[in-house]
Every structure is written in C-alpha cells, then in structure tokens.
C-alpha cells in the first residue's frame, strides 16, 4: 500500500466528475476521504461506492460554511480545492452578477478552502494543498473571460502561498487540465449547440481539437497527477501549475 494509507483527504466539489474520480482513487489507496459539495444526493452516491469515502455538505463560497466543514472533518492531511463552475458568453454581454459568480466559486472558494486548511495544518509536519485550475489559468480562451480570470487568480494564489509555506512540510500546487471528459464539458457542448446550432458531435470534436492529441482529458489522468503530488519524491514540487492537456500549453 502507498504512503497515502491512513491519511485524511478533503475534496471539494467531490460529488461529480473529477472530484468523484479523485475520491475513488484516494480511497482505493487506503486514504480516508471526505467529499464536500452543495448537493447531498450526488455526495451520497459517491460515498456509497467505498467504505472510506464520507460526505459533508458545504458551500465553498461561504466563509462560515467552509469553517464548519473543517470542524466536521477535523484536520485533513490533503486538501484538494476542486469545486468550480463555468459559463460562457461575450464579455460585453456579461452581467456583473455572472462575473462575481465565476470569481466567487472558482477563486474565492479556493482562497477560503486553502486558508482554513492551512490554519488546521499549522502544526503538522506534512500537508498538501492542491487546486484544480485549468488551462484557462495559463492562457486565454474566447467567451470565458470571467472563468479564465478566476483560474489565473488561482494560479497566482498557489504561487504566492507556496512561498509562504516553503519552509514547512506543506506544498501548494495547481493542476491545469484541458477540456475534461466530464459533466462540465457535456454542459459546454450543450451550450455550443444552443448558441451556434452546431451538432453535438461537431461541438464535442471542436473541444477535443483544443488538445494537440485531439482528445478530451480523462479524469483519471488528473487524479493520477494529484496522487503523485501526495507521494514520496514530490516534496520539492511546490508553487507549480501543472498542465494536463495533451500538449496544449
């Protein structure tokens, strides 16, 4: 069994997609996993798949809710800030409420999760803070300016916090996947179809072509990268934005 055995892992946005895949991977390796989110039904479904996966309802955009989440699970060894959302449209048609919503869940949610996680880890000799960002945090895409701005902010947060924690046993990194083969991409395909009249197959193919490998990234590829950041030999890896995109960036 790996060195993950017996460690406590918190995964926000753990009820679907990448978060659910990460939960399954860490639980299979012997970790005690907590998945959090706002929808009890999806969390229960994930938790029901393994005896070492547990659920806690929380809203990462709410400071009180985040603190209560950590009170409930106690001190985790590994915190994966995975909760996020996306929307698309021309910037000139973007309402302030949508801009604030994208920053709230994708950037403020990471800030609140990391801040509380680090507070709990302050006396720990070892810890891992991992943010799930995006290739949108490394480059620009049209029609997703608020999302890209938030993800760029996440990477800035990671780089700064890594320097603050460099002399401790805590590392801080970001994973930057390209378009993933998950529910979020299905919603992106639906949005393209609705706004352009393109077929679902062509919309899916247009997203796949973003990668030089001409495919969507599998959730398990990102889970493997997260697992590697928590394993032996990763101690010197901190402050990094790791692209998992088939060579896109």
Neighbouring-strand partners of residue 57: 37
Task: Decide if 133 contacts 181 (C-beta within 8 A).
Answer: no
H or E element at residue 53: strand 53-57
Q: Are 173 and 225 in contact (CB under 8 A)?
A: no
Confirm if 174 and 133 have CB atoms less than 8 A apart: yes
Q: Is 99 left (phi over 0), alpha (psi -120 to 50) or beta?
A: alpha
Distance from C-alpha of 15 to C-alpha of 1, rounded to nearest angstrom: 25
Whole-angstrom CA distances from 134 to 30, 32, 148, 191, 207 are 28, 26, 8, 19, 14
Beta bridge mates, 127? 170
Q: Residue 125 CB: number of other CB atoms within 10 A?
A: 8
Which residues partner with 8 through β-bridges?
32
Q: CA 97 to CA 95: how far, in whole Å?
A: 5
Catalytic residue among 147, 161, 180, 217: 147
Whether 141 is catalytic: no
Active site positions, annotated: 147
């Amino acid at each position: 069994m790996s060195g993950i055995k017996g460690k406590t892992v918190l995964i926000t946005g753990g009820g679907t997609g990448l978060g659910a895949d990460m939960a399954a991977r860490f639980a299979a390796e012997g970790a005690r996993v907590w998945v959090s989110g706002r929808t009890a039904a999806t969390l229960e479904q994930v938790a029901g798949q393994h005896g070492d996966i547990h659920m806690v309802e929380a809203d990462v955009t709410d400071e009180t809710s985040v603190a209560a989440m950590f009170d409930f699970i106690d001190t985790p060894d590994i915190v994966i800030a995975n909760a996020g959302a996306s929307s698309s449209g021309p910037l000139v048609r973007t309402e302030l409420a949508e801009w604030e919503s994208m920053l709230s869940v994708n950037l403020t949610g990471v800030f609140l999760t990391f801040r509380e996680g680090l507070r709990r880890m302050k006396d720990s000799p070892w810890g891992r803070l991992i943010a799930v960002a995006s290739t949108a945090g490394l480059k620009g895409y049209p029609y997703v300016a608020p999302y890209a701005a938030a993800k760029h902010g996440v990477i800035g947060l990671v780089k700064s916090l890594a320097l603050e924690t460099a002399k401790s046993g805590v590392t801080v990194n970001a994973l930057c996947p390209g378009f993933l083969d998950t529910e979020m991409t299905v919603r992106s395909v639906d949005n393209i179809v609705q706004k352009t009249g393109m077929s679902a197959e062509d919309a899916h193919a247009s997203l796949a072509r973003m990668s030089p490998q001409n495919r969507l990234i599998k959730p398990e590829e990102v889970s493997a990268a997260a697992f590697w950041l928590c394993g032996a030999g990763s101690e010197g890896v901190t402050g990094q934005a790791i692209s998992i995109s088939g060579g896109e960036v």
